[in-house]
């Protein structure tokens, strides 16, 4: 039951979100309503790191976490994080989450 609730929560919050980059900024785009949700410029981030939890390891994905002044954004379960990471001027820290 807890796994089913976790999966339902994930798909409701992140299932319709696509992360796009034009090389200068990252934009979260809602595919269902066809609207941008937020935009992060490279100079807005204070810290950047890549996490891999059990789900990421199982599906060979990565989660990018971007710390901003007013909030922390997580870009979960990206199959190819390279285009997102190339937006920033520095390489992220990497960590394993259990």
User: In this predicted model, what pLDDT tens digit does every residue of 44-92 receive, in sequence order?
Assistant: 888 899 988 887 888 898 999 999 999 999 888 888 888 888 888 767 6
Residues 6+ apart with CB under 8 A from 81: 50, 62, 64, 75
Amino acid 65: pLDDT: 92
At residue 68, the pLDDT reads 92
Domains of the chain: 2-96 (2.30.29)
pLDDT tens digits, 5-33: 666 665 566 567 888 888 789 998 888 88
- What pLDDT sits at residue 98? 45
């Amino acid at each position: 039951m807890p796994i089913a609730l976790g999966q339902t929560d994930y798909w409701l919050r992140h299932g319709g979100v696509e992360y796009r980059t034009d090389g200068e900024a990252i934009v979260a785009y809602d595919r269902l309503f066809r609207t941008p949700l937020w935009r992060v410029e490279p100079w807005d981030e204070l810290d950047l790191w890549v996490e891999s939890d059990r789900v990421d390891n199982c599906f060979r994905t990565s989660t990018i976490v971007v710390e901003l002044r007013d909030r922390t954004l997580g870009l979960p379960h990206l199959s190819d994080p390279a285009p997102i990471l190339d937006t920033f001027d520095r390489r992220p820290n990497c960590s394993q989450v259990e």
